Amino acid sequence: MTPELELPGFRFHPTEDELLNFYLRNIVFGKKSHFDIIGFLNIYHHDPWELPGLSKIGEREWYFFVPRDRKHGSGGRPNRTTEHGFWKATGSDRKIVSLSDPKRVIGLRKTLVFYEGRAPKGHKTDWVMNEYRLPDGCPLPKDIVLCKIYRKATSLKVLEQRAAMEEDQMKTSFTSPSPPSPTLDTSSFCGQPEELLGPISLPHVMLKQEEQEVSMVQGTYTEEKTVSTATSLQLPQGKINLPELQVPKMNTDWSQDPIWSQLSPWLQNIAQNLTPYASILN
C-alpha cells in the first residue's frame, strides 16, 4: 500500500466495469499503473481465510490478480484445489457489458463457492469468489484473471432462525431437571474447634448395649420357659388314668402321736433347766 492511499475514510470499492476495463486490461496488456493496489497471488496455494491478510487493500472484499493454472495445458480446466478444500463454480458464466455501450461485452464473471474437504464431497462454507476475465476469442498476451474474495452475508431470516434455535435450546436446558450430583460432606474431614462440636458422650451406646443384654436375657428366659413348657406338655397320647390320692386323717390327740411321744421327755428337760432363771427374773 502506498502512502497516498493511507487516508482516513478511503475505501476501495470499484465497479465491475472499472475492474475489467481499467485494472485487468492494463495488467494483461502490460500497462503499468501509478498505484499498486491489487497484487499478484496464486490464491489456490492458500485457504480463503488466509487471503485477507495477504491482500494489499480491502476490509470486506479482497482483490487479487491470479495467473490461471490449468490441469491439462492451455485448453484444460483450471485447477482450483487448495490444501483443505476446493472452489466450486455455481451456475454459468455471466457476461459483463460496458456502462457506456450496453451492447459491448467487456468480460465474463464466474461465481465460485469454497468447500472444505475433497470433491465430490465437501462442506460448503460462506466464502465466495467472483472471478473476472476478459472475453473469450480475443488474443491475450497473458492468461490472468482478477478475483474478488468475500464472505457471504448472512440473511436476516437465517439469523432469526439461529436465534430461535438457541432460545429453544436454552428453554429445554432450563425446563429439563438435571439429576442431582452426589456431593460429599467435607465437614467431617475439616478440622473444627471442639467448642463448636460439643462434648462427646456415649450414653446412648451404653443404653443400647444394656437393652441388647436385657433382650438377650429375656430371649434366653423365654426360650427356657418355652422349652420347659414344651417338655411339661409332652404327655403320652390316649386316656390317662391317675391313681386316687388317699389323704391321711389328722389325729387331734398329740399324745397319741409317736413323734410327740419321742419329743416330750426332751421338752420336759428343757423346762426343768429353765426354771431357776425364771425365778431370778421374777
Please give the full DSSP string across 170-194, using - where no structure is assigned: HHHHHHSPPPPPP---GGGTS---H
pLDDT at 205: 44
SS3 207: helix
pLDDT at 117: 93
pLDDT at 149: 96
Query: What are the residues whose beta carbons fall under 8 Å from the beta carbon of 6, sequence distance 6 or more?
Result: none
Q: What's the full length of the chain, in residues?
A: 282
Q: Assess contact for 46 and 62: CB atoms under 8 A.
A: no
User: In angstroms, rounded to a whole number, what is the distance separating the alpha carbons of residues 197 and 191?
Assistant: 10
The residue ranges of every structural domain in the chain are 3-157
| Residue showing cell 467487456 | 106
pLDDT at 260: 61
* Segment among 4-8, 80-84, 168-172 with least mean pLDDT: 4-8
Tally: H helices and E strands in the chain: 6, 7
User: In angstroms, rounded to a whole number, what is the distance separating the alpha carbons of residues 281 and 4?
Assistant: 158
pLDDT at 16 > cutoff 60: yes
User: In angstroms, rounded to a whole number, what is the distance separating the alpha carbons of residues 270 and 16?
Assistant: 160
Beta strands in 162-261 (DSSP E): none
Query: What is the tens place of the pLDDT at every residue in 193-205?
Result: 444 444 444 444 4
Q: Half-sphere exposure (CA, 13 Å, Cβ side) for 176? A: 7
pLDDT at 191: 46
pLDDT at 240 > cutoff 70: no
Question: What percent of the chain has pLDDT above 90?
Answer: 33
User: In angstroms, rounded to a whole number, what is the distance separating the alpha carbons of residues 63 and 42?
Assistant: 12
Q: How many other β-carbons are positioned within 10 Å of the β-carbon of residue 109?
A: 17
User: Alpha carbon 282 to chain centroid distance?
Assistant: 114
Query: What are the residues whose beta carbons fall under 8 Å from the beta carbon of 128, sequence distance 6 or more?
Result: 111, 112, 113, 114, 149, 150, 151, 152
C-alpha dihedral, 100 to 17 to 130 to 49, nearest 10°: -150
* Segment among 19-23, 101-105, 119-123, 259-263 with least mean pLDDT: 259-263
Question: Is residue 127 packed enough to be buried (19+ CB in 10 Å), middle (13-18) or exposed (0-12)?
Answer: buried
Q: Bridge partners of 115?
A: 86, 124
pLDDT at 145 > cutoff 60: yes
SS3 280: helix
Question: Is residue 274 packed enough to be buried (19+ CB in 10 Å), middle (13-18) or exposed (0-12)?
Answer: exposed
pLDDT at 58: 84
State the pLDDT confidence band at 190, using cuts at 50, 70 and 90.
very low
State the pLDDT confidence band at 69, using cuts at 50, 70 and 90.
confident
Question: What percent of the chain has pLDDT above 70?
Answer: 59
pLDDT at 88: 94
Q: Bridge partners of 145?
A: 66
CATH of domain 3-157: 2.170.150.80
pLDDT at 86: 95
pLDDT at 223: 47
Query: What are the residues whose beta carbons fall under 8 Å from the beta carbon of 25, sequence distance 6 or more?
Result: 31, 134
Q: Which grid coordinates are listed for 54?
A: 495477504
Cα-flanking dihedrals φ and ψ of residue 102, to 5°? -60, -15
Query: What are the residues whose beta carbons fall under 8 Å from the beta carbon of 11, sequence distance 6 or more?
Result: 59
